[in-house]
Amino acid sequence: MSSDKVRLALLGCGTVGTEVVRLLHEQSADLTARIGAPLELVGIAVRRPGRQRGSDIDPALFTTDALGLVKRDDVDVVIEVVGGIEPARSWLTEALRAGKSVVTANKALLAEDGATLHDAAAEGGADLYYEAAVAGAIPLLRPLRESLHGDRVTRVTGIVNGTTNFILSSMDATGAGFGEALDEATELGYAEADPTADVEGFDAAAKAAILASLAFHTRVTAADVFREGMTGVTAADMASAKEMGCTIKLLCIAQRGPDSAGTDSVSVRVHPAMIPRSHPLAGVGDAFNAVFVEAEAAGQLMFYGRGAGGTPTASAVLGDIVAAARNRLSGTRAPSESSYAHLPIRPIGESVTRYHISLDVADRQGVLATVAGVFAQHEVSIATVRQSGREDDATLVIVTHGAPDANLAATVEDLRALDIVRSIASVLRVEGGA
Ligand SMILES: NC(=O)C1=CN([C@@H]2O[C@H](COP(=O)(O)OP(=O)(O)OC[C@H]3O[C@@H](n4cnc5c(N)ncnc54)[C@H](OP(=O)(O)O)[C@@H]3O)[C@@H](O)[C@H]2O)C=CC1
Ligand SMILES: N[C@@H](CC=O)C(=O)O
């Protein structure tokens, strides 16, 4: 690298990439002053080079040959904002092994096979930065990776998907059902044409794996994360949550602690849950993200902001570019990521949570005793019971004390088999509060 410039290759120029280019142009003088040398964008790889990008980018920069661009000798920093596993993994391992710094927003790749990227970075003595991969603009990974390294993080609870938070906030505010709220999110440009990754929790699970890996110094992949989407949350569930002084959020929860045999382990899960309105995450509305970190010495910390969108995400990418460029000029490297702990993953069956169960029952004599008996049989303690309706049209809403997921699953299975239980309308976890 010549010390007069830091040369950048950009892979992808869509929602995030276009904003990265705009900010690089608009903030060029400030960035030069902060880094100590100018940044030069030497090429942009895309699929369709002729496409209108909505900003005045020199057309000569575009190429469809991403690998060729990565391999260019004059490239110092590779910025990947394409997404997906392949070919992104091949491009980035090639760059890192060759000693080029990498900045990526690719949560799917980091969660599925982060180890390959970290190994390639170690092999090439190169920097791998990915602040934008979780919670967009919110500075979160650097605090976990650096500021909290003297502490022991015990739990991370977050709203890390903007689309689903918009949908659930709208259901809460208007009483709308899931479909109606999703249509609104699509109209306003929050939800993608195919919202599966968001509403089924895949996006949040990838982010949860990255957060857990950093928080607990261990390797967690997307496959280790228990995942349940939020498509089953109904207007009735939201109304029930309101009656309890709660709302419903799609949460990612990563916890460190002993498993049933007393071994230090981690559990990572993504699912909708009721939380009390007094919980710090309950007030996080619209498409905002927030992450609540609990550490032994620091106590409780809250990170809040915009978790998606081209400009907020580009802010995090630019921060990483500055860090990588400074390191190259000074011949230093980012603090390496520690994954020394090798903690086992605790199965979901051992997760202890409170539950809210809504049953449609025939209101015959003894129904309550029969239902309560099933809970007792599986050692699930009942905290409250509420009945509404009469005769063949009654609803029982039961809230439990904390119980292992496996016990609750067995309870629900046995309840389903009772002829007085016509249907189980919903089973939702309850998090936060006493
Ligand atoms: N959008 C957001 O709010 C956030 C996104 N991210 C992450 O950022 C990354 C980018 O997301 P986003 O900008 O929304 O995605 P887009 O789909 O808007 O853009 C993807 C870009 O990649 C290009 N591309 C796709 N395949 C290839 C290929 N084989 N070779 C070269 N270029 C290719 C596309 O080219 P073309 O334009 O020609 O089609 C496009 O420019 C993803 O990893 C995403 O998860 C992270 C946080 C938030
Ligand atoms: N689809 C994601 C985008 C950012 O990661 C979201 O809605 O949060």
Which residue in the list 5, 71, 100, 207 is annotated as catalytic? 207
The ligand minimizing its distance to the Cα of 165 is 2
- Asked if 242 is an active-site residue, the reply is no
Out of 163, 230, 286, give the residue to mutate to test ligand 2, the one with the largest number of ligand atoms within 8 Å of its CB.
Answer: 163
Provide the whole-model pTM.
0.96
Nearest residue (by CA) to ligand 2, atom 4, is 308
The ligand minimizing its distance to the Cα of 200 is 2
* CB 152 less than 6 A from any atom of ligand 1: no
- Give the residues of the chain that fall short of pLDDT 50: none
Q: What is the pLDDT of residue 1?
A: 56
Q: What is the pLDDT of residue 232?
A: 95
Q: Which domains does the chain have, with CATH numbers?
A: 6-134+310-330 (3.40.50.720), 141-306 (3.30.360.10), 351-430 (3.30.70.260)
Binding site for NADP(+), residues? 11-18
What interface predicted TM-score (ipTM) does this complex get? 0.99
Q: What is the pLDDT of residue 3?
A: 63
* CB 203 less than 6 A from any atom of ligand 2: yes
The CA 43 to ligand 2 mean position distance, Å, reads: 26
Please state the φ and ψ torsions of residue 114, each to the nearest 5 degrees.
Answer: -60, -30
The CA 207 to ligand 2 mean position distance, Å, reads: 10
- The pLDDT tens digits for 156-214 are 999 999 999 999 999 999 999 999 999 999 998 888 889 999 999 999 999 999 999 99
Nearest residue (by CA) to ligand 1, atom 42, is 83
